[in-house]
A and B are shown apart, each in its own frame.
Chain A
Amino acid sequence: MRYVIRRLSQSLIVVFGVSVVAFGMLFLTGDPTEVILRDAADHMTVEQIQEFRVKMGFDRPWYIQYGSFVGNALKGDFGYSFIRHQPAYEVITDKLPATIKLASFAFVLSLLVSIPLGMLSAIRVHKPVDHIATVLALAGQSIPSFWLGILLILFFGVHLKWLPISGSGTWQHIIMPGIALAAFPIARNMRLTRSSMLDFMQRDFVRTARAKGISETRVVYAHVLRNSLLPIVTAIGLELGFLLGGSVIVETIFGWPGVGREIVSAIGSKDFYVVQAGVIMLALIFAAVNLLVDLAYSWIDPRIRHGA
């Protein structure tokens, strides 16, 4: 219980930090009016700009502005999108399901491919299958998602015409962006599973299990795999951050209607409130998932609770 309370209080500090960073972004250039108005300021008089500044409250001290920013955010008010003619919060929440769908698909795909491949590689260590899997994993970690996305479009979309190259709607639409997004986690988790399993295969308890005459399959599944999956569970929390961040690029390439593409489009149209709302929402989702993963991890491995 003490661990849960400590971990929850850490998350609250993170939420506070996220709000400070998101709020501080407005002040990076010194004047938030400049960030919001951008090119529009060129067509306005000094009086009009000053009027806008007062109307938005940018003339007040920063701590008052931060207070009202947090107060509004708690009510779901992240400002108004002058491009979409819609509250920024709604612009983002409308796109959130698509991003979660893509990230979940990539997440499941990465686990389904990486763990069996990592296991196979560890069981057949230094055999051809291990060498092939290792080379593939190294390549998967080295090919940027946007380049892999372009290659997939070129091969499966343009030349073979098997899959749609852009948009959403059918199940075929999610395959290429899902693969592009999952490639890096597949490679990383595969290597992690392999090295973790190889590590446990050397341990005394595994040697004892073998000496007792337990079948190799049971040794691998019941003794080695169960223990070696623990470090992978920890990596999963960080993986979601990668998937949410990576979705910005993959969604843009494949025209996937999610938060990432919306953020990039909002950056292009200088729609700062939408950018800010998107970043806050993704960061909060990431922090929440990290909290859940940590709590789940402490439940799986009691040493963490006692260590705390």
Chain B
Amino acid sequence: MKVLDRPSESDAGVALDEPVASQLLVDRARRSQILPRLFRSKTATIGVIVLLLVLVAAAAAPWVAPNDPFAIKLIQRLKPPAYANSAGITFWLGTDSLGRDVLSRLIYGARVSLIVGLSAVVISGTVGLLVGLLSGYFGGWVDDVFMRICDIQLSFPTILLALTIMAVLGSGLDKLILVLGLTGWVQYGRIVRSQVLSIKNDEFVLAARATGERQWRIIFQQILPNVWSPVIVIASFTVASNIVAEASLSFLGIGVPPSVPSWGTMLADGRQYIGVADWLTIPAGVAISLTVLSINILGDWLRDYLDPRLKNIV
């Protein structure tokens, strides 16, 4: 992988020898084959299709949702779903305790899950990448400080730390994204650091140093392109864990405000009617599980494709 991900000729600032140039061609060819290879795997294809459906539902929610997910109609409360309703189809997945359409809330809930999942990954990925790059490259006291911060953060189970901070700050989508982003960077930091340690004395880095390249250019132009693979793999798994964390915190009543349609708040509401109105919990639970399963399948495939060595780590 290391050889395959060598920087381009112009990046390195020195002429590449023949074997490296041929490896670059192999690398480019391999990258261009990513989609055909992805669709050759049946499970990965199913994962992609489910994810695309969720993405489309989230993006087109105002057009796809049959009803207003916020509209409270007490007269329509706890209406059973279409399959159990002999009186005709009014609400495909029934209504909740306030008469709101479950299907519309489910579709809008996809928005919250994806926004939180993806935005928090951008924050944690950026922080972890920077920490890992600086820690691995400079070593010494910089590495010691960052690694001790990692140890301290690892002492707090993530969900517990997020729960406590949210308890002090109060619920809200923006706070939730920030909290999950800032509590999830450690895994990136540690793996990027180990990748940097393994390549920082490679010839292309030494060559860049010898030509008097500035350190920040070496870090961001020579080393960074070689540590993307684990970052992408971890990011895919972290999107899934963020979706679960958002749902868990919202389920406990401290994620997004209860009025916001989210899969976690839907499960929390439905829990009170368990055994009486199963349709309040089952759709949201299935939606979370299917989405997370699809992301995990895709993450597994990406890991095996990009860097199988991560199998025992991620």
Which residues does A use to contact B, with CB under 8 Å? 10, 13-14, 17-18, 21, 25-26, 28-29, 35, 138-139, 141-147, 150-151, 153-154, 158-159, 192, 195-196, 199, 231, 238, 241-242, 244-246, 248-249, 252-253, 263-264, 267-268, 272, 275-276, 279, 282-284, 286-287, 290
Contact = CB atoms under 8 A, between A and B. Distances in A.
Contact of B149 (A17, A245, A248): A17
A245 B274 contact: no
B247 A25 contact: no
A276 B160 CA distance: 11
Nearest to B281: A150
Contacts of A268: 253
B160 A13 contact: no
A150 B289 contact: no
A158 B277 CA distance: 12
Given A25-B165, A242-B157, A282-B160, A264 B252 contact: yes
Interface in B212-244: 240, 244
B248 A144 contact: yes
Interface of B: 148-149, 151-152, 154-161, 163-165, 167-169, 240, 244, 247-248, 251-254, 267, 271, 274-275, 278, 281, 285, 288-289, 292-293, 296-297, 300, 311-312
22 contacts: A13-B152, A17-B149, A17-B151, A18-B152, A18-B155, A26-B168, A29-B169, A142-B240, A142-B293, A142-B296, A144-B289, A150-B271, A150-B281, A150-B285, A154-B274, A158-B274, A199-B312, A244-B160, A245-B158, A249-B251, A263-B160, A267-B254
B311 A195 contact: yes
> Could you tell me the dominant secondary structure of chain B's interface residues?
helix
Given A146-B267, A245-B159, A14 B152 contact: yes
Nearest to A187: B296
Contacts of B288: 144, 147
A153 B312 CA distance: 34
Contact of B151 (A13, A150, A196): A13
Nearest to A199: B312
Residue among B157, B163, B281 with max Cβ neighbours from chain A (10 Å): B157
Contact of A154 (B149, B151, B251, B278): B278
A243 B148 CA distance: 23
A25 B275 CA distance: 39
Contacts of A145: 248
A21 B152 contact: yes
Residue among A18, A35, A249, A253 with max Cβ neighbours from chain B (10 Å): A249
A286 B160 CA distance: 12
Nearest to A266: B167
A17 B160 CA distance: 16
Sorted from nearest, which 9 A-B pairs have the closest CB atoms? A245-B157, A17-B152, A142-B293, A158-B275, A147-B285, A267-B167, A142-B292, A245-B159, A287-B155
Contact of A231 (B168, B285, B312): B312
A10 B312 contact: no
A268 B163 CA distance: 12
B70 to A, nearest CB: 24
B155 to A, nearest CB: 4
B151 A138 contact: no
A223 B234 CA distance: 32
Contact of B252 (A242, A249, A279): A249
A66 to B, nearest CB: 15
Given A21-B152, A138-B297, A263-B163, A286 B157 contact: yes
Given A154-B275, A158-B274, A290 B155 contact: yes
B119 to A, nearest CB: 19
Contacts of B271: 150, 253
Nearest to A143: B289
Nearest to B247: A144
Contacts of A244: 157, 160
Contacts of A139: 289, 293
A29 B170 CA distance: 10
Contacts of A29: 168-169
A248 B163 contact: yes
B251 A146 contact: yes
Given A14-B155, A248-B160, A275 B267 contact: no
Nearest to A17: B152
Given A153-B274, A245-B160, 11 more contacts: A14-B155, A17-B155, A18-B156, A28-B169, A145-B248, A147-B285, A151-B285, A192-B312, A246-B157, A248-B159, A248-B160
Nearest to A235: B312
Contacts of A283: 155-157, 160
